[in-house]
Amino acid sequence: MASGVNRGETERHRELKRLALAWARARGLDLAAAEVRIPRSACRADVAAAGGSDGPCVLFECKQSREDLRRDAHDEEAARARSEELSRRSRALDDLLATHYPALRCGEALWPEFDTWDFSGLRHRGRRALQVARAAAERRVREGTKFSRLRRYRAADELYLVVEPDCFAPADLPVGWGLLVRSRGTDAAPASLHLERAPEHLAAAPAQRAALRAAIRHAAGRPRALLCPGLQDGCVDARDHAAQPG
């Protein structure tokens, strides 16, 4: 979407983004925006922030449920290994079936070893189950390893998960990511984030940091709603904006 406001987004998720922006601002990361396209990747960050011309660049991913968290938290290396193993098993099974069903050979190649077989009409439950598992494993590599890939890319100097207090277990947390947990607000003390685990310092490459700063500025130029008092999530320097009432 062109706007930083996702019309299908829940208020709980927007609140986590507001809190992440406020947390970043309180630590001098005044260049900040929501829904930032991460350079050199196909991913978008819920919040990205940077401090000063030489300050750190930080990405925040907000998760309001354990299911949402676990969806992106699969280890990339393990997911790829699983996908490759299922691919090997699938090829081995097809080679075995080819010896038992020579009539299914397509006959399109001059040499038999280069020919293919048409198993589409073969009712084989084991092969079907293997195909389903292989497709799921390949999808997990493509869509379920966001946290692991961003760490491998060194997409920013620091990476943080921003979560609800009841939506995670220690085993769910990706390697290298810091953890910010929302406190339950009261009339006397509004909700805020507290740091439960410090992130690994990744030392992003200078070119990546420059590209991320440019992406934040680009996102900051789009019309946006105010996400927290005094901070427009599309503004480059939050201190330029007066605090909003209420």
Convert the pLDDT of each residue in 134-159 to its tens digit.
Answer: 777 676 656 667 888 899 989 999 99
What whole-number distance in Å separates Cα of residue 12 and Cα of residue 6? 13
Match 């005044």 to its residue by tokens.
Answer: 30
Convert the pLDDT of each residue in 208-235 to its tens digit.
Answer: 999 999 999 999 887 654 344 444 444 4
Q: What is the DSSP letter of 117?
A: B
Taking the CA atoms of residue 112, residue 116, residue 120 and residue 126 in that order, the dihedral angle to the nearest 10 degrees is 80
What whole-number distance in Å separates Cα of residue 93 and Cα of residue 18? 52
Which is it for strands 193-197 and 178-182: parallel, antiparallel or unpaired?
A: antiparallel
Residue 64's nearest CA partner among 72, 75, 52, 56 is 72
**Six token digits for residue 207:** 């070119």
Task: Flag residues of the chain having pLDDT under 70.
Answer: 1-8, 73-76, 79, 83, 109-114, 137, 139-144, 185-189, 223-246
Residue 147's nearest CA partner among 15, 7, 8, 38 is 38
How high is the pLDDT of residue 239?
A: 35
The contacts of residue 156 (CB under 8 Å, 6+ apart) are 48, 56, 57, 58, 59, 150, 202, 204, 208, 209, 212
Q: What pTM was computed for the model? A: 0.71
What whole-number distance in Å separates Cα of residue 207 and Cα of residue 156? 11
The contacts of residue 142 (CB under 8 Å, 6+ apart) are none
What whole-number distance in Å separates Cα of residue 18 and Cα of residue 33? 10
